[in-house]
Amino acid sequence: MSLVMVFRNFPVLLFSNQNLSIMRPLLNSMAGLFLLVCTLSLQAQNMSEQQQKAYMNYMTPSSVHQWMAKGVGDWKVETKMWWDENAKEPMLSTGNCTNSMILGGRYLQSRHTSEIMGLPFEGIATTAYDNGKKVFISSWIDNMGTGMSQIEGTLDEKAQTITMKGTAFDPITGKDCTVREVQKFVDDNTMVMEYFVNKGGKEYKSMELKLTRK
């Protein structure tokens, strides 16, 4: 059904004084979507063949996305955590991770569940490969914070390793710190992820995850 048909078939009742305030956010979002579709349509008509090809190349999943899709499935996660650079023994935990490709195979979403110090833990990573910039970009959110971290990096095809860098907020110091993540694809059924934190110019490993396909 087209957006025009959706608008035409809205019941008149929705536009009563009583319901207008409730429906206004929905109507605004649909109107915005309708305008966006119209704008893109007009732009596409005015694009040259070369411009259209460039845009299609940017939006179409590539061979790298197909490679990312190899990680789809359920994984067992064994985690080691070091709270600071002085920690001698890591804290151990186990959990699960489910990977899936979303939005037509364009992004890899990883949903992690486990327990940390007896508390339930949930985290979501969304990883992209930007066809234009030729880089990987990954964001992270979890239920033990209210912020979002983002890292960016490249793939070493020979080593089958992705190295990404970025910043993350440290609630203890109240400042951002530099982070580095290394993802090593050992084989089709094994991955190792190492997470490093740099505070005051000194980097240390804060976490190591071993993922084994179920």
pLDDT tens digits, residue range 64-89?
999 999 999 999 999 999 988 888 89
> Are residue 16 and residue 99 in the same domain, yes or no?
no
- Residue 112: inside a domain, yes or no? yes
> Are residue 108 and residue 202 in the same domain, yes or no?
yes
Question: What pLDDT digit, counting tens, does each position of 22-65 carry?
Answer: 445 544 666 666 666 666 665 666 778 888 888 899 999 999 99
> Are residue 93 and residue 33 in the same domain, yes or no?
no
Alpha carbon distance 184, 127 (integer Å):
15
The percentage of residues in the chain with a pLDDT greater than 90, rounded to a whole number, is 67
Q: How many domains does the chain have?
A: 2
> Are residue 75 and residue 149 in the same domain, yes or no?
yes
- Residue 53: inside a domain, yes or no? no
The pLDDT value given to residue 11: 39
191 lies in which domain range?
Answer: 63-213
Q: Which residues pair with 162 in a beta bridge?
A: 155, 183
Alpha carbon distance 214, 199 (integer Å):
36
Q: Which of 154, 150, 74 is nearest to 110 (CA)?
A: 74
Q: Residue 119 is part of a domain; what is its CATH number?
A: 2.40.128.20
